[in-house]
Amino acid sequence: MADWVDQDGALVRDFEFSNFAAALAFVNRVAEVAEEANHHPDILIHGWNKVRLSLSTHDKGEITDNDHALAKKIDDLA
């Protein structure tokens, strides 16, 4: 998880893809994993090929084991 950084109490990682369609396909794969885990990241699609994911456990107000587990699953997708 070397690419994830702690930023304002959330795990944050930026991803860059070859095109807009690839970025959207990645977001859809993340959505499937997040639904299975019942733990949902904040997702920002910016530029034409970039995605920023932010993970935090909102009801705890901090980064938890759930965030690290989801980050690992997302890393496996990337």
- C-alpha 6/C-alpha 29 separation (Å) is 23
Is 90 exceeded by the pLDDT of residue 30?
A: yes
Report the chain's mean pLDDT, rounded to a whole number: 94
pTM, to two decimals: 0.92
Structural domain total, the chain: 1
Q: What residue numbers bound the domain in which 70 lies?
A: 5-77
Average pLDDT over residues 48-75: 94
- Of the pLDDT bands very low, low, confident and very high (cuts 50, 70, 90), residue 78 is confident
33-56 pLDDT, tens digit each: 999 999 999 999 999 999 999 999
Q: What is the pLDDT of residue 2?
A: 56
- C-alpha 40/C-alpha 70 separation (Å) is 9
CATH number for the domain including 73? 3.30.1360.20
- Of the pLDDT bands very low, low, confident and very high (cuts 50, 70, 90), residue 59 is confident
- C-alpha 67/C-alpha 63 separation (Å) is 6
